[in-house]
């Protein structure tokens, strides 16, 4: 064995030397750097806006408390989607139409069935999937539950989009028409028409967010679109041809295609409320300053920087103090901030809206704790979530009005009657 090894080593060394000696006779043109390494992110501002504000939840990621509306299609009226936990019998989807379901969690039965549990008007219903595990079911591209339109996207859209200015990108939009076959008629709208969002409602399971807009001529029309695609039952490749406009970025743009980058940014963001998502450094009138997360600002100005993907953003805090920070709206890395390199991408640094106005009952002392990631007894679930993040899982006891939140660091928060009662 030893002889064979030495012989093989000698042959390998000889071959290496021979190839090395022949290298002078082989020449090649210099290869261009990998396209994957050089190319910048191809995501649009609309897609970045979605990624920053509308999280996609697969079935494996559904969390207790998520809300859905029952919107059955024709086939769902024939084949019931849910059963009553009380009776174990099918419940007509027609009887549940327009009702709001709150997700409770999933149970795996001894028979090898999955029961996705929901609460509706103090009654429990479940969707049953036979002969599968949760992992196998969730791994399917179209894994989801029929009839359910995800209301989380609708609620976030209401908070962020009402009153916002968009520009049309689709050829056709819809107007409600009671006498029409589908309840609407289609109209043609010129591309890049400036519109204002006047209403947000629920659309359908596949396209749950109905966005109503008005143009400068007073015409009002809408598009029902998928945004996060949570439980939409569709994959990306299906948003083509007639369904292409039903994906939010294909119907609405954040920016006027005819204006410069700086003008677009100023029109889109000047005067808007934002807050720091995490602790970060900014330049103040007195020099560099460390800013705590959740500090509230108003965007005063955006100034382009020559030969740079960054802009200089000027912000005012609630006390009228001025800060500046260099921000980019164009990712150079698909992964974002990695390996200690911070791009300062806008939606990584700032959350949009007035966070304080969403929670007017939180006092300054509690905000100070939240900004430091600290919690105390008596806090509400929202306050604890902002301070500590989302739990891995939640256990609810409706009879005792109790919730137990379990975190990755093995800590447990116990809420009783909506207030933090124990920290373990």
Q: Is the pLDDT of residue 32 over 60?
A: no
Q: Is the pLDDT of residue 209 over 80?
A: yes
- The pLDDT value recorded for residue 333 is 59
| Rounded Cα distance, 371 and 366, in Å | 9
Confidence of residue 132 (pLDDT cuts 50, 70, 90): confident
Overall pTM > 0.85:
no
The more confident residue out of 273 and 134 is 273
Tokens of 424: 């373990």
The whole-number pLDDT of residue 399 equals 84
Residue 10: what pLDDT? 40
The reported pLDDT for the residue numbered 35 is: 43
Residues 6+ apart with CB under 8 A from 239: 226, 246, 247, 250
For residues 240 and 37, the model is more confident at 240
pLDDT of residue 141: 67
pLDDT above 70: percentage of residues in the chain: 87
Q: How is the chain split into domains, by residue range?
A: 60-134+144-152, 261-357, 373-423
- The pLDDT score that the predictor gives to residue 5 is 38
pLDDT tens per residue across span 264-294: 899 889 999 999 998 899 999 999 999 988 9
pLDDT band at 320 (very low <50, low <70, confident <90, very high): very high
pLDDT digits (tens, 9 = 90+) for 326-340: 999 887 654 444 444
| Maximum Cα interatomic distance, the chain, rounded to a whole number of Å | 91
Task: Write down the pLDDT at residue 73.
Answer: 86
Nearest to 35 by CA among 265, 258, 334: 334
Q: In angstroms, what CA-CA distances link 212 with 78, 85, 123, 157, 179?
A: 31, 38, 33, 11, 19
Rounded Cα–Cα distance for residues 90 and 79 (Å): 9
Nearest alpha carbon to residue 137 among 252, 82, 58: 58
Average pLDDT over residues 237-257: 92
Model pLDDT, residue 116 = 95
- Which residues, including other chains, have CB under 8 Å from residue 94's CB and lie 6 or more apart? 72, 77
Q: What are the pLDDT digits (tens) for 65-98?
A: 999 999 998 888 888 999 999 999 999 999 999 9
Label residue 355 by pLDDT band (50, 70, 90).
confident
Average pLDDT over residues 185-197: 94
The answer on pLDDT for 391 being more than 80 is yes
* Predicted pLDDT at 19: 43
Q: Burial level of 34, CB count in 10 A (0-12/13-18/19+)?
A: exposed
Q: For residue 17, what are its two tokens?
A: 């030397």
Q: For the ranges 39-43, 108-112, 349-353, 389-393, which has the lowest average pLDDT?
A: 39-43
Of the two residues 189 and 1, the one the predictor is more confident about is 189
**What pLDDT is recorded for position 24?**
54
pLDDT, position 36: 43
* pLDDT band with cut points at 50, 70 and 90 for residue 154: very high
Given a cut of 90, is residue 364 above it in pLDDT? no
Predicted local distance difference test score (pLDDT) of residue 17: 43
Cα distances (Å, whole numbers) of residue 340 to 247, 343, 344: 34, 10, 12
Q: What band does 163 get if pLDDT is binned at 50, 70 and 90?
A: very high
**266 neighbors 342 (Cβ within 8 angstroms):** no
pLDDT: is 400 or 29 the higher one? 400
């Amino acid at each position: 064995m030893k002889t064979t090894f030495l012989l093989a080593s000698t042959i390998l060394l000889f071959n290496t030397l021979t190839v090395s000696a022949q290298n002078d006779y082989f020449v090649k043109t210099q290869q261009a750097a990998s396209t994957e390494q050089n190319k910048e992110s191809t995501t649009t501002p609309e897609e970045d806006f979605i990624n920053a504000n509308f999280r996609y939840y697969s079935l494996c990621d559904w969390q207790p408390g998520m809300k859905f509306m029952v919107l059955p299609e024709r086939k769902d009226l024939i084949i019931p989607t849910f059963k009553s936990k009380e009776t174990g019998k099918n419940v007509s989807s027609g009887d549940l139409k327009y009702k709001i379901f709150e997700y409770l969690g999933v149970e795996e039965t001894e028979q090898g069935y999955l029961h996705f549990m929901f609460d509706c008007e103090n009654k429990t219903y479940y969707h049953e999937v036979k002969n599968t595990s949760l992992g196998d079911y969730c791994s399917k591209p179209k894994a989801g539950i029929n009839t359910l339109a995800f209301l989380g996207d609708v609620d976030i859209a209401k908070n962020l989009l009402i009153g916002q200015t968009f520009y049309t990108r689709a050829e056709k939009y819809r107007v409600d028409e009671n006498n029409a076959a589908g309840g609407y008629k289609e109209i043609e709208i010129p591309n890049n028409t400036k519109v204002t969002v006047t209403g947000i409602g629920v659309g359908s399971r596949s396209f749950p967010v109905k966005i109503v807009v008005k143009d400068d001529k007073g015409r009002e029309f809408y598009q029902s679109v998928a945004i996060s695609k949570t439980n939409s039952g569709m994959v990306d490749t299906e948003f083509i041809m007639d369904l292409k406009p039903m994906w939010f970025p294909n119907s609405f743009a954040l920016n006027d295609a005819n204006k410069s980058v700086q003008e677009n940014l100023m029109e889109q963001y000047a005067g808007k409320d934002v807050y720091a998502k995490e602790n970060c450094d900014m330049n103040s009138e007195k020099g560099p300053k460390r800013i705590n997360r959740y500090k509230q600002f108003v965007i005063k100005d955006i100034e382009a920087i020559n030969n740079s993907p960054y802009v200089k953003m000027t912000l005012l805090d609630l006390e009228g103090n001025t800060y500046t920070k260099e921000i980019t709206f164009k990712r150079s890395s698909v992964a974002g901030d990695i390996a200690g390199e911070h791009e300062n991408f806008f939606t990584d640094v700032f959350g949009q809206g007035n966070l304080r106005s969403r929670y007017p009952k939180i006092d300054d002392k509690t905000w100070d704790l939240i900004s430091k990631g600290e919690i105390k007894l008596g806090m509400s679930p929202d306050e604890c979530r902002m301070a500590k993040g989302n739990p891995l899982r939640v256990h609810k006891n409706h009879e005792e009005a109790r919730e137990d939140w379990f975190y990755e660091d093995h800590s447990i928060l116990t809420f009783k009657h909506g207030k933090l009662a124990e920290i373990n």
